[in-house]
Structures are given as C-alpha cells and as structure tokens.
Structure 1
Amino acid sequence: MTGTTDPLVTDTTDPLATAVTWLFVPASRPDRFAKAVTSGADAVVIDLEDAVAAGDKATARDRLRAAWPGNAGIPVVVRVNGPRTAEYADDLAACRALSPAAVVLPKTETAAQVRDAGEASGTRVLPLIETARGLVALDRITADPACARLLFGSIDLALDLDVSDDRALDTARADLVRWSVVNERPAPVDGVSTAVRDEAAVTRAATRARAWGFGGKLCIHPAQIAPVRAAFAPAEDEVEWARRVLAAGHDAAATVDGEMIDRPVVERARRILHRAELAVRHTTT
C-alpha cells in the first residue's frame, strides 16, 4: 500500500482500497451496467461466474466486451470463472483487453493462482476466499504482489466446511483480517447477505463484519448499499469521542470519558476520524 505506513489506515489514493460497498451485476445483463455504476456503490463487480448460466458463458463475455463501462468514475472489476474451469483462460483474456481495475478470482487456493491470474489479465487480483484450502494458504495468497485485497466468500465456505451456523466462520473472518494486516493489505471485504431487501438483516451483518475488522461488504442488490455504508461509517458519538481524544493530545495525565489517554487510545481515535472522512467522501461522490 502506498501513501501510508499503517495497514489499518486505508490508502486514500487507491479506490480499490477505500471501497466499502461492492455491487454485483451479471455480465449477461449489459442493460444493468450503467445503472450499477450510478447506483451509489463504491465499486462494481461484473460477474461472469455464478450469475451466468453454464451455457451462456461465451455470450456473456461477448456482451461484456460490447458494453464495457469504461471511464466509470469508480472501480469496475470482473469476477472470472474459477481456475479449474474451462472458461477461465478466455475470461482472463477478455479482461486483459478491457483493463478492469482488478479481477475477482473465485476459489482462490494458492499464491500461484493469484500470480497467474495477474499475469494473464494484466491487472490486480482480488482473491475470493471461499474454501478451506484457501484459508490455510492465506499467508502466501495475501503476500503475493498481485493481491490487491481479500474478499470473503462466506456462503461457499460454509458449504465447503459443512457448517450451518454463521458463527462457525468467525475464525475464518479473523484469519482474513489477520493476514491482511500482516501483509499490509486493506481490510478485507465481507461476503454477501442473501436477505436482499431486509435492511435490518443487512445492517446486522455489516455491523458485525465491521466489528470483526472488515472494511467493506459485497452487495447483490442496490437496496443493500445504503445500510452497508451506514454500518461501516463511525457513529456520531464515536466521532465526537475521537475528536475529544485528539484535542486532549498525548498528555499522559489526560482522560476522556474516564479513560486514560495513552498511545493506543489516540491511535484508535485517529482511525475513527479517518473512517469518518472516507464515509463522507463516498457519500458525496
């Protein structure tokens, strides 16, 4: 990450690093590309994988080429089909010609896959971690220079692990955050919420992801964008507290709300204000 030496303070010069809301749109529906770009999402994921039927992959690639939303003003990335599929090489070749901001690599399980996807597509890679094999290789996957940011495929991972309680994925969430910090990558992006129009459910999921250290969330409907953005933005009382802490400075004898102001407290306040600034930027752009 350029522009900062703190892996938890997002590099504001990189829109892939600052994006909080990531909206999926099927590659087979070019009529929705412009709507997705202007939906208010921070990034758009045009999907050649799960959103496209098996027999429609080639047609979807053709439609993607014909209607590519260049100069969108926000990052537009492409989710290709997985490394073990017949469509993989053709998807990456199409991406190389289109120059998306990144490619989303599903079922990422090795650093070699990240490296190969980056070389074949000519762009950065967003590894989608959705298998147990991917989890155990996170250190190497995240360290690869082509890795821009981790994405969490929580639904597929639950299937791979054969778990039905979302809490069983908490150790995986911690691993994504931990290795992102170790390798100085932006905070990872949480998986989708299938409750398309249940704003309360989306808010709960996004709030929980933020508490675990995630920096954004994948969205499958424009209605999810606003609650996700609100959940990741610091609350007004948090911002006020952070301002009081920074106003108190580094005086070891100072306290705010009964809490002694030491270096970790000052750092936490600084990060809250940084997140608040990014939230304002995304709301006004």
Structure 2
Amino acid sequence: MTNWSPPGPAILFCPADRPERYAKAAERADAVIIDLEDAVRAESRDEAREALVNTPIDPNITIVRINSAGTGDHFRDIKALAQTDYRVVMLAKAESAEEVAGVGYQVIALIETPTGAMHADEIAAAPNCIGLMWGAEDLVAAMGGRSSRFTAAEDNTGRYRDVVRQVRAMVRLACATHGRFAIDSVHIEIADTDGLHAEALDAVNLGYEATACIHPSQVEIVRSAYRPTEDEVSWAREILDAAQHNPGGVFRVGNQMIDSPLLGQAEAIMRRAESIGT
C-alpha cells in the first residue's frame, strides 16, 4: 500500500462529535483531521466514536486523531476505526516507536510532550510512521510552563520561546532524516492573520509540507504562504529545464552556479506549485 501524504498544505481540525461539520471541513481544506482527543470532552467520546463510524467522508483526505497510547480511550478509538475505511491515524502525545507500531495503521505521530520531543528521531523511524506533527501548547503545559510564545509585555513579536522553536526544528530534522513529511503546529490566535502567514512562510522555508488549522478562515492564509510566487516558479522551471541539458554536475544559469541543493529547492517549488496551483 502506498503511504499517504498531504494532498495540500492546509489541514483543518474538526471535532469528532460534530459530524455535521465533517464534509464542510473536507470541502474547505486540503485534508481534515477528525479529532477524537482534545476537541472532544471525555464524557462525549463514545458519542464521537459513533459519529466517526456513522458519518463517513473521503478517506483519501481524512486523518483521525486518536487518544494517546495506553489509555482506555485509545483502545476504544482503535476499535471504532476498524469499522471505517480510514487508514491514516494521528497518534496524540506519541512518545516511542513502540507506541506508533502498536497502532497498526499509517501513523502521523504528534510530538507534544518532553518525552516525545526527546525521542522524535526514533519515533520517525518506526516502519508505519509516515509523518510527524508537533504541538506547542501541550508541550509547554507538560513542562509546567505558561505560554509557548513571548507575551506582549516581554516581546511584542509574539514569537515562539526558544525551547519550543527547538522542538519544531527537531521534528523537521527527524522527518528529513527518515523521509517522513512534517506538519507544522496550529496558530491558536485566529485573528492574528499576519502572524500565521509569517509562520507558514517560515515553515515552507524549513521544508514543512503542511500546517494544521483550527479555523476555516486560516486555510487560505496557509495556502497563500505555501503557494510559490510567479518568480519562484519561473526560476524553478529555468533550473529544471537547464538540468536536463547538464546531467550529473554543476552548471550555470544566469548569475547562479546550480548544484544539487539548488536543484532540490527547484524541485520542491514545483511540487508545491502542482499541489496548490499558482
């Protein structure tokens, strides 16, 4: 079976206990995460699992976030999944390769605890791990912290604190090492459209394949950040066209010497252009 990969950069969370929103979320975003974990109150999870089974949407654009390994909800989530056609699971609070392997589906491991962060490399190496996502707020809460970002009183940029940025980098490095895709964390300030756009642009430049969204209004902002500019596409096409006539070595295009890293950047730009459209 071919491993699943994000069909586009904007992936929208949808609470599993709101089945009337499933199809709408799938229509608005490139993929949808039906969430059986944080978005659903503990007392509503049985109802959410019933909704998951009884309200099917396209499995090719659907991820199901399940509860962390070793919990009763985790095992009940797996049992409910067996009654659906979904094949891609996001494992909340993943902390080991063994937990990922135990799920038995294609797994996007969610790195959102200190233990998970310290084991991101081995988690990404699990045979059924297809990608990683990371979560800033759960991570900081698990460390006993109060905020993932500098506050206005400290630093008016709203940027991530250093330890959070480190985990973001660790996740991307682990994915690159093992050939997995990486999904960037949600931007929880829905009104901060400029901040989301800047963060998504940074994710693109680090090689992230997608950014998770918590509100439909964030989808087009993320797409616009991941969408290559006309100048980028023109540059990439020129590089790739020239490469066909210069196999196996360094070559010149305009004022640039093109080698393997720049060729890889051109290929990445064209993949994004084909995925999103320009």
User: Same fold per TM (> 0.5)?
Assistant: yes
How many residues are aligned here? 261
Aligned residue in 2 for 1:58: 46
Q: 1:194 to 1:112 in 2, by over 3 A?
A: same
| Paired residue secondary structure (1:22) | strand
Is residue 96–residue 119 contact of structure 2 (8 Å, CA) maintained in 1? yes
The match for 1:158 is 140
Question: Could you tell me how far apart the structure 2 residues matched to 1:262 and 1:86 are?
Answer: 52
Whether contact under 8 Å (1:155, 1:191) holds in the other structure is no
Aligned twin of 2:166: 171
Counterparts of 1:264 and 1:90, CA distance in 2: 46
Which residue identity does 1:142 align to in structure 2? A
Given candidates 72, 89, 93, the residue that maps to 2:75 is: 89
Separation of aligned partners in 1, 2:129 and 2:223? 24
> What do residues 34-78 of structure 1 show as CA deviations (whole Å, max 9, x unaligned)?
211211x12111111111112111111122222222xx2742121
1:98-109 equivalent positions in 2, closer than 5 A: 98-109=84-95
Normalised by the length of structure 2, the TM-score is 0.86
Distance 1:141 1:252, change over 3 A: closer
Alignment equivalent of 2:23, drawn from 27, 31, 34: 34
1:226-268 per-residue CA deviation (whole Å, 9 max, x = no partner) reads 1111111222211112222234433856242x22223332332
* 2:157 paired residue number: none
**Which runs of 5 or more residues in structure 1 are unaligned?**
3-12
Relative to structure 1, the CA distance from residue 246 to residue 60 in structure 2 (aligned partners, 3 Å threshold; closer, same or farther) is closer
Indicate whether 1:211 and 2:199 are aligned: no
After TM superposition, the runs of 4+ consecutive aligned structure 1 residues lying more than 6 A away are none
Query: Contact between 2:6 and 2:210, CA under 8 Å: does it hold in 1?
Result: no
**How far apart are 1:15 and its partner, in Å?**
4.8
Q: Which among 82, 95, 114 is matched to residue 100 of structure 2? A: 114
- 1:33 and 1:113, CA in 2 relative to 1: closer, same or farther beyond 3 A? same
Does residue 233 of structure 1 match 2:227? yes
Instruction: Give the Å deviation of 1:197.
Output: 4.0
Measured in 2, the distance between the counterparts of 1:60 and 1:263 equals 48
Kept in 1, the 8 Å contact 2:11–2:213? The answer is yes
- Name the residue aligned to 2:131: 149
Contact 2:114 2:142 in 1 (8 A): yes
What does residue range 69-84 of structure 1 map to in structure 2 within 5 Å?
69=57, 72=58, 74-84=60-70
**CA 1:263–1:205 in structure 2 vs 1: closer, same or farther (change >3 Å)?**
closer
Secondary structure (helix, strand or coil) at the match of 2:271 reads: helix
Equivalent-residue separation in structure 2 for 1:81 and 1:109 (angstroms): 13
Distance change in 2, residues 1:83/1:253 (3 Å): closer
Q: What residue identity is the alignment partner of 1:27?
A: A
- Which residue of the partner structure matches residue 274 of structure 1? 271
Q: Distance in 1 between matches of 2:140 and 2:121?
A: 21
Q: Give the distance between the partners of 1:235 and 1:85, measured in 2 at CA.
A: 46
RMSD (Å), alpha carbons: 2.1
- The match for 1:200 is 194
Moved more, 43-52 or 196-205: 196-205
Query: What CA distance in whole angstroms lies between the structure 2 residues aligned with 1:142 and 1:125?
Result: 10
Q: Deviation of residue 104 (structure 1)?
A: 0.9
106, 129, 136: which one aligns with 1:124: 106
- Deviations 1:199-223, CA, capped at 9 Å, x for gaps: 2222122112222221101111111
Aligned CA distance change for structure 1 residues 253 and 34 (closer, same or farther; 3 Å):
closer
TM-score normalised to structure 1 length: 0.84
Moved more, 164-173 or 97-106: 164-173
CA shift digits 1:133-156 (9 cap, x unpaired):
011112221111111111111221
2-structure distance, mates of 1:109, 1:153: 13
Q: Which runs of 5+ in 2 are unaligned?
A: 150-159
User: Aligned partners of 1:73 and 1:107: how far apart in 2?
Assistant: 23
Letter in 2 for 1:52: V
